[in-house]
A and B are shown apart, each in its own frame.
Chain A
């Protein structure tokens, strides 16, 4: 049985809430004496997970963003949860969506372990763990591949290089 979370936030899934989550994380990391580079990775990964909820979970309806942070001797586990329409990563939007499509690749590169649970209509939970004493940079094991495509979205299969212009 997992221990009770040290921090639990429940808030409307709106853009202004993402900074609040980062503030709570920074406070918790301060209490744990987490170093600046690891905190930066945590803040980035959590922001991307929360942004996914804000942008994708509820379409135009109101909904809830839930974040749980729990610490143990080894590291910090963070869960970001919604009760929205579930994972539908390849749905094309009719209107322009200001999203690069980099969220999940960034979370994978910045966290030590990363797991997504859920399904269509059942909401989504992103669970990330961050180890205090890293033996290796997770971005080496799970690098962000590709670069931005001509359509403005991230293309994971594209070859990196200096573009013309």
Chain B
């Protein structure tokens, strides 16, 4: 078992969720970039769920910002979500970099999936 998995969840249909758990840094950032590329390649909205993440560094932020830029260029929505309680190793870097409104970061996967839909009121998009 990978202690720091990054997996794609496409249960939401038109939005792919990239689920990031555990600690992530310069070592796992290339894998995260690959998963984000895969998610963008599916053509719909992209959610990155950091609920299970315990640590992310600037390499991870770089990967997220890069994916966000490419998603927006392709007219795909990009949203990051966290859980009700956020690990200090995740919250702190988001706070001091001011990236919460930029990425953007919202609370809860359902809200993020809704925000990532092209048509938030419908199942399709």
Contact = CB atoms under 8 A, between A and B. Distances in A.
Interface of A: 15-16, 18-19, 22, 36-37, 39-41, 43-44, 47-48, 51, 54-55, 98-100, 102-103, 106, 109-110, 139, 143-144, 147-148, 152, 160-163, 165
Contacts of A39: 88
B42 interface: no
A18 B25 contact: yes
Interface of B: 23, 25-27, 29-30, 33, 55, 57-59, 61-63, 65-66, 69, 72, 87-89, 92-93, 96-99, 101-102, 104
A47 B25 contact: yes
Contact of A100 (B27, B61, B87): B61
B101 A51 contact: no
A15 B27 CA distance: 5
B33 A100 contact: no
Query: Interface SS of chain A: helix, strand, loop or mixed?
Result: helix
Q: Which of B23, B26, B88, B101 has the most CB of A within 10 A?
A: B26
Contact of A152 (B57, B66, B98): B66
Query: Interface SS of chain B: helix, strand, loop or mixed?
Result: helix
A162 B59 contact: no
Given A19-B25, A51-B25, A109-B96, A98 B62 contact: yes
